């Protein structure tokens, strides 16, 4: 389970106007190019980014998402072999991975997230993530590497091009 979530439940924050403005700009390709970042929206997109080890800068979601994910972690279901991993299991995995990677999780209200959403009527347990357009170079053991393998750069391209604007 994700033990660190209890403090999150008390940290509901309304996004500041500057943060909201900055994130809203990421809905356009111009804003993405200017900031060098892009938005991933929804459980599936965020889940797949984490699965492929694509580095996320921050994640924004609602209390409802965290509550559902914690419930799923506490009561895991065993899906039949032919079924895909459930929405609840993906949500639970997302919280686990965010804790493991130290990625910032910001709990906000559904109204703020709806403002950022590209979907007309986003679900109340919506989730958004912010990622860099290009992997950031890092030094590791004296060698220049990137935070995402080259195959993940292709994945980022798919996310960027596949998102609705």
**Is pTM, for the whole model, over 0.75?**
no
pLDDT band at 12 (very low <50, low <70, confident <90, very high): low
Q: Collapse the DSSP code of 139 into the 3-class scheme (helix H, G, I; strand E, B; otherwise coil) and give the result.
A: strand
| Long-range contacts (CB closer than 8 Å, 24 or more residues apart) made by 17-26 | 20/112, 20/115, 20/116, 23/60, 23/116, 23/128, 23/130, 24/115, 24/116, 26/130
Report d(CA 110, CA 138) in Å as an integer: 35
Measured torsion, CA atoms of residues 54, 57, 63, 68, in degrees rounded to the nearest 10: 10
Q: What is the pLDDT of residues 82-134, one digit of tens each?
A: 456 788 889 999 999 999 999 999 999 888 898 898 888 877 778 999 999 87
């Amino acid at each position: 389970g994700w033990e660190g979530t209890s403090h999150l439940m008390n940290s509901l924050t309304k996004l500041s106007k500057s943060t909201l403005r900055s994130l809203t700009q990421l809905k356009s390709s111009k804003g993405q190019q200017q900031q060098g970042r892009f938005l991933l929206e929804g459980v599936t997109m965020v889940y797949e980014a984490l699965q492929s080890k694509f580095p996320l800068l921050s994640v924004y979601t609602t209390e409802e998402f965290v509550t559902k994910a914690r419930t799923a972690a506490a009561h895991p279901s065993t899906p039949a072999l032919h079924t895909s991993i459930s929405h609840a299991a993906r949500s639970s995995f997302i919280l686990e991975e965010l804790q493991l990677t130290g990625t910032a999780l910001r709990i906000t209200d559904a109204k703020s997230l709806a403002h950022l959403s590209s979907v007309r009527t986003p679900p109340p347990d919506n989730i958004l993530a912010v990622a860099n357009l290009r992997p950031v170079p890092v030094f590791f053991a004296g060698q220049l590497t990137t935070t995402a393998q080259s195959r993940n750069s292709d994945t980022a391209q798919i996310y960027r091009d596949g998102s609705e604007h």
